[in-house]
Structure 1
């Protein structure tokens, strides 16, 4: 079985919007979260979807899923105080129906510019290597610093990548890592890749488009709109 876990529990503080969370902001009459979910809804290998959502917006999420004819979402559960806690809530909600070898694609609800090919490559990587971390090339030099301003190291750009999503694992492995983190009191890992790396799992990468952005600020939204409309125009005009 292949399950997509879409977590959309953030409040969107950096979006400067007081009316609704960022995942419910609309483009061409459709919320960002629906743009995101549709990629998994339309993928032939994905069996079902769980959405982790702000508790106060669950009813609205259900309404939007129905309005947009989304059929694969079988669960909607409340999010937590952090992304890590939200993912744990989602994994816990599907525990009884998942086998050890269930493949779970973990994805941000505000990352709507993924492709069918990227989902497929994530699944293939897990089947072959046991994990899949979507990444894109680093296009600028990356430095590591101390806790102030001093540069400590400049990694070789050829060996650096930007981590994105989906991040995909067998259920047994990602559940085990989250359970360990819960027991160890670790509750704010940046993402699943960081969590899995912390507990010694070997991670393998899948190359993603650099346009696979996470919408966290107004400028991200405008980039999303520009890319989306460019794709729409290319279909119309054959560009």
Structure 2
């Protein structure tokens, strides 16, 4: 089986919103998290969806899932505002008795709503072929590595530099084992790719769709709105 683990447990402090966390901001009356979840709900290869959500927003999420006629969300798990790695841990732990170690799990940010079905399919195919899949995007500017004195120590060739995006996809048993190990050893991580890097796991890549942005700051929300409306106009008006 193929599961999507969507984490939306953050409080979104960088958004400076006083009323709503970033994943629940609305565009045309629909929350960002619903735009994200729809990609997995409508994908024929995804069997099941687990959402990690801020605990005091779970009732709101359940209302929206009913309103937008979702059928694949089987579990909503309270998140952890201390970090995405803690929320992912909570989600993977809640899945433990319900999935097989060989099942595929796509780990995705609830605030990355501009992916598409092709990217999901490519992640699933790469896990079946290689065991994991990390969505990446080539960088458009040079990356510099600093030393401890704020001096540039290295400028790697840009052609070899990519940024890690999402989904990040794995066999459930393998990624859950790593998160358990990190928790027992007190190791904090940025994302699942970082976790795999810490423990020397060989990783394989899938090229990201364009504009696979993560909404973390106010400008990101406005970029999302502009891009979404441009895509809508292209579909409706053919422009």
Give the TM-score, by structure 2 length: 0.98
Post-superposition offset of 1:32? 0.2
Distance 2:53 2:101 in 1: 25
Q: For residue 52 of structure 1, what is the aligned residue in structure 2?
A: 52
Q: Secondary structure at the match of 1:97?
A: coil
1:1-239 mapped onto 2 (5 Å cutoff): 1-80=1-80, 81-186=82-187, 188-239=188-239
Post-superposition offset of 1:183? 1.2
Deviations 1:166-216 (A, max 9, x none): 000000110110011011111x30000000111121100100123000000
Structure 1 runs not aligned, ≥5 long: none
Farther-moved stretch of structure 1 (226-235 vs 143-152): 143-152
Q: Secondary structure at the match of 1:96?
A: coil
Post-superposition offset of 1:140? 0.4
Runs of 4+ in 1 over 6 A off after TM superposition: none
Decide whether aligned partners of structure 1 residues 148 and 209 sit closer, same or farther in structure 2, where only a CA change above 3 A counts: farther
Distance 1:84 1:113 in 2: 22
Q: Secondary structure at the match of 2:97?
A: helix
Distance 1:191 1:33 in 2: 19
Deviations 1:6-40 (A, max 9, x none): 00011111111000100000001100000000000
Deviations 1:149-177 (A, max 9, x none): 21111111111101100000000110110
| Contact 1:107/1:165, CA 8 A, preserved across alignment | yes
Post-superposition offset of 1:147? 3.9
Deviations 1:204-231 (A, max 9, x none): 0100123000000111001100110001
Give the TM-score, by structure 1 length: 0.98
| Contact 1:137/1:210, CA 8 A, preserved across alignment | no
Q: How many residues align?
A: 238
